[in-house]
Amino acid sequence: MPEPSTLLSVQDVTLNFGRVQALSHVSFDVKKREILAIIGPNGAGKTSMLNCISHFYTPQQGHIYFQGHDLTRTKPTQIPRLGIARTFQNLALYSGLSTLDNLMAARHIHMKTGMLGSLIYWGFGHREDLKHRETVEEIIEFLEMESIRKTIVAALPHGLRKRVELGRALALEPTLLLLDEPMTGMNQEEKEDMARFILDAHELRDLTLVLIEHDMGLVMDIADRVVVLDFGRKIAEGTPDEIRTNPDVINAYLGQEHRY
């Protein structure tokens, strides 16, 4: 079993799609309150790894433990209730709802009022709704989204929609946050803002982060450790300085730095 300081333990995970092997015997641990980056070229298996952790995919071999729970044996609908939230490479928001409503939708796992209590709105249901709205408004302020709180998400530019998705993940009040390319498609100013929000969330909300990101400058600046995947295999793991000088990483990515 994982050590006490380990929050997430990926053990010998193998994932196949027919004859295509997306992940091959991948193992690594994520320590409490660290930022772990997973890097590699397109098709290396990075998103497949996050999909296994969130149990969107079920690996054919191996186990993933989170605070004593074997996630490979846990229903996908229970993963957020354990304290795991994620963002997606391709935005997965309710585009017809406002920023506020998207964040409120994420609060459903914390709602305790049943159908009868919801009908009697001015009782416990009303008090609970106010409590959840206070939490959501705090996140909106934290991510500097006050000006778009009532804006329909479909009308927002890409960078702000990425911020809304981060806010929705934070609204779940996770212990572990999985970020799948949170800065893709952003300009430099938007990337700097997102990096600041991620680091502030990590520090102020006591979060452990698993990050997939192609911006190597950012990864090397904010990650505590880095796992490198190539064709579904783990080829290296270590601190950013160790990864920079690792011969296997250099050989695998020679001339391909712009891809990961």
Q: What is the pLDDT of residues 115-147, one digit of tens each?
A: 455 555 555 555 677 788 999 999 999 999 999
Portions of the chain given CATH number 3.40.50.300: 1-83+176-260
Compute the distance between CA of residue 106 and CA of residue 111 in angstroms, rounded to an integer: 10
State the average pLDDT over residues 142-170.
96
pLDDT in tens, 7-37: 999 999 999 999 999 999 999 999 999 999 9
Contact present, 182 and 164 (Cβ < 8 Å): no
Sheet with 35-39, strands from edge to edge, namely 84-86, 176-180, 208-212, 35-39, 225-230, 233-238
pTM of the model: 0.88
Strand partners, 208: 176
Choice among 114-118, 152-156, 158-162 with the minimum mean pLDDT: 114-118
User: Tell me: the pLDDT tens digits for 173-225?
Assistant: 999 999 999 998 899 999 999 999 999 999 999 999 999 998 888 899 999 99
Residue range 1-83+176-260, CATH number? 3.40.50.300
Q: Name the phi and psi angles at 59, rounded to 5.
A: -65, 150
Distance CA 10, CA 229 (A): 14
